[in-house]
Amino acid sequence: MKLTDKVALVTGAASGIGRESALLFAQNGARVVCVDLSADLNAATATQISEAGGTAFAVAADVSDADDMERVVAETVQKFGRLDVAFNNAGIMHSDDGDAVSTEERIWDLTMGVNAKGVFLGCKYEIPAMLASGGGSIINTASFVAVMGAATPQIAYTASKGAVLALTRELAVVHARQNIRLNALCPGPLRTELLMRFLDTDEKKERRLVHVPMGRFGEAAEMAQAALWLASDESSYVTGTDFMVDGGLSAAYVTPEG
């Protein structure tokens, strides 16, 4: 199994990509720490792992709170003795997120706090733990919109994911010789509750899908497979990448120069 003997921390583990990744990591041998603000659903993910014969425990935490993230990593190391993989995946997409004119400052601050600051705080506390463990792999969830912009306006979300890309690239360079790899997973449009709630009309859904060469929304389980590869030693020479898993969207609309 790809993650045998590894300890993996997954944020946003209550649903979507995070939940599917936590389950898949466990199926591949990892001891998994499930982290989410939604305590009951997060605990349900950990319970499902345990009932399937895996090893997991749940920690309720707000990724935008420094004390919470410091505690999460400390509890991980206390329980399992090390940290090898961190998937900083927790994120929000607010229904009131629009263009620069219509989006309220509080929506901007909330989105940046979870999506960008949450990744920063994860890395802040995960990296020292990984250094003590001899290295590791950090995967940060960005998005195709960070590279291309979104057809449906969502300025705070897009900007926050752009910040994740920049942060990931810099930390990948800084820690490359310390055996810590950092990569940004950039999903295309997914059939998750998060996006379907945002694209709340058929018109919005079609406007997003018309740009996807494969003609369908991706699945959270497909993103989990990509995260598993980045987490495993099979990607040992991969760091600092914007790993596009987008049904061909970026290939159709982004030129080689940009």
Q: Which residues, in sequence order, are CB contacts of 67 under 8 Å at separation 6+?
A: none
Cα–Cα–Cα angle for 90, 233, 23, rounded to 5 degrees: 40
The yes-or-no answer on residue 157 being catalytic is: yes
For residue 138 the two structure tokens come to 């950090």
- What is the gyration radius of the CA atoms in the chain, in angstroms? 17
* DSSP one-letter string for 16-84: HHHHHHHHHHHHTT-EEEEEES-HHHHHHHHHHHHHTT-EEEEEE--TT-HHHHHHHHHHHHHHHS---
CB burial class (10 A; 0-12, 13-18, 19+) of residue 201?
exposed
Cα–Cα–Cα angle for 215, 144, 202, rounded to 5 degrees: 45
Give dist(CA 5, CA 213) in Å, integer.
39
H-helix or E-strand spanning residue 58: strand 55-60
Q: Which of these, 177, 208, 182, lies nearest to 120 by C-alpha position?
A: 182
Indicate which residue of 125, 157, 237, 253 is catalytic.
Answer: 157
Give dist(CA 82, CA 95) in Å, integer.
38
Catalytic residues: 157
